[in-house]
Amino acid sequence: MSIILTIIKREYLVRVRKKSFVVMTLLGPLLMTAFYGLIGWAAIGSISQKNVAVIDQNGQFTGKFKPDEETKYTYLTTAPTQAKTHFVEDGYDALVVIPKAVIEQPKTVQIYAEKSVGGSLKNNIERAVSKQIEVIKLSRSGITQQIIEDAKVNVDAETISLSDQGEKKTSTVMTSIIGGLCAFLIYISVLLYGTQVMRGVLEEKTSRIIEVIISSVKPFQLMMGKIVGVGLVGLTQFMLWIMLTTSLIWGGSAIFGAKMARDAATARMSTTMSAEKAKAIAKASEDPGMMTEFSAALKTLNLTLIITCFLFYFLGGYLLYSSLYGAIGAAVDSETDTQQFMLPVTLPIIACATLAQFIIRDPDGPLAFWMSMIPFTSPIIMMVRIPFGVPAWEIALSMALLVLGFIGTTWLAARIYRVGILMYGKKPTYRELSKWIFYKA
């Protein structure tokens, strides 16, 4: 046992001390924060309101368009031909001309803009016009505005997941994000650290130190020591990433939050800025919005379950794949020869990554069920599903299968490994590999 610990210690320390580890550990959170910052910046930028001029020749539309965060409307009485030449200089983004006969010929509405009009602005205007036409037509047939208002019932469905502790409101978006994030982390770590195990084995083989080492320890001890050592490196890197990213995002949020509040304040004071815009910015800065929704969603999710499962599937998936990667490293002599064997091992991981989006849409479908049972795909797919709620028996079965899976692959890998590390020369074929499995020790 102490020998395995010695091996684990070496594998761990050698990697953690590497410059590339330090660089990756520091760079990862910076990239993530930059990404987050970009989204935040884009969110603030998108608040800018469009100023739309409306010439209502019909007369029944004036004051009927409702301004919102995206668009505000100004009603002009000038002639369309005159307005057309001036509206850009007057500070409008678009000009809408509603002809007199619009009720009978709704397609005659015209939108002018210097640049081509964005899809959402066009939609907004079309919706506003058709709604107003609807109102007008209804009231013509005797239905009053009052009845229409009464008839409008706002249905905003909430998703509620049933569990033992009673009903809880969950946000589908947040659940998807958390599931996706966990799955993505497992995907990255399996690829990243699995190939590190492979390179480590290859290094020992090409530097020929392997013969010295296995005259002192059993090949299995060396393989397991390496797998565990690299796994701990992975866990360390994740811990550091999470800590650094959280602190950076907190810092970043504080700066962004302050900036938004300042914008709101200046907007309130400024007289040139329209009241609507000021209101919109103030609302955005005061609106707890995403952060509250996120933390609310976190509260409703079973975090202990998610974290436990994440650790389990991370370890299970990593052990399963890294032993296979270790066997590949043992089977060949050089990194270029690994490609042929990498493909079949990497394929299920990539399939998981591509299919995860369908699993998110239908987390209880048959594809989701089977992929979360097969040990080669379950670490990633089950993590996508778990935040949505998965029956306990499914989790237990999937975990049991994963344990069997990695015991199986480790056994297989160890058999290939112990023969492969002493073989030099020709790249083995799959047939030879399968023969190695049955060699006597």
Find the angle CA(436)-CA(440)-CA(441) to the nearest 5 degrees. 100
Q: Which is nearer to another protein, 72 or 205 (CB)?
A: 205
Q: Give dist(CA 369, CA 382) in Å, integer.
A: 8
* Residue with Cβ nearer another protein (6 or 130): 6
- Residue 86 or 426: the one with the smaller Cβ distance to another protein is 426
Report d(CA 437, CA 7) in Å as an integer. Answer: 25
Strand, helix or coil at 170?
Answer: strand
Q: Which is nearer to another protein, 179 or 219 (CB)?
A: 219
Give least dist CB 217 to another protein, A: 6
In the complex with another protein, which residue's Cβ is closer, 385 or 418?
418
State in angstroms the smallest separation of the CB of 210 from another protein: 7
Query: Using the 8-state DSSP alphabet, how is residue 49 labeled?
Result: P
Distances (CA, A) of 131 to 66, 77, 118, 127, 137: 11, 22, 20, 6, 10
The CA distance from 221 to 8, in Å, is 10
- Whether 2 and 214 have beta carbons less than 8 Å apart is answered as no
- Find the shortest distance in angstroms from Cβ 327 to another protein: 18
Contact criterion met (CB below 8 Å) for 411 and 441: no
Write down the least CB distance from residue 331 to another protein, Å.
16
Rounded CA-CA distance 234/351 in Å is: 22
| Closest CB 325 distance from another protein, rounded Å | 20
In this complex, which beta carbon is closest to another protein, that of residue 15 or of residue 50? 15
Shortest spacing between CB 204 and another protein, in angstroms:
8
Shortest CB 419 distance to another protein, Å: 9
The least CB distance from residue 416 to another protein, in Å, is 15
Stated length of the chain: 441
By the 8 A CB rule, do 169 and 159 touch?
Answer: yes
C-beta of 40 vs 329, nearer to another protein: 329
Strands 159-163 and 166-170, sheet pairing = antiparallel
Q: What does the binding site for another protein look like in residue numbers (CB under 8 A)?
A: 3, 6-7, 10, 14, 203-204, 207-217, 422, 435, 440-441
Q: Which is nearer to another protein, 40 or 428 (CB)?
A: 428
Instruction: Name the H helices within 301-338.
Output: 303-331
Which regions of 184-265 does DSSP assign to beta strands (E)? none
18 vs 86, which CB is nearer to another protein? 18
Instruction: Say how many Å lie between the first and final Cα of the chain, rounded.
Output: 21
Strand, helix or coil for residue 392? helix
Token couple for 12 = 């761990």
- Whether the CB-CB separation of 348 and 405 falls below 8 Å is answered with no
- Residue 374 DSSP code: S
Nearest approach, Cβ of residue 4 and another protein (Å):
10
> In this complex, which beta carbon is closest to another protein, that of residue 87 or of residue 436?
436
Q: How far is the CB of 326 from another protein (least distance, A)?
A: 17
Min dist CB 233 to another protein, Å, is: 15
* Sequence-ordered list of residues with C-beta below 8 angstroms from that of 134, at least 6 positions apart, any chain: none
Residue keyed to tokens 């290094």: 203
C-beta of 209 vs 242, nearer to another protein = 209
- C-alpha to C-alpha distance for 243 and 311, rounded to whole angstroms: 17
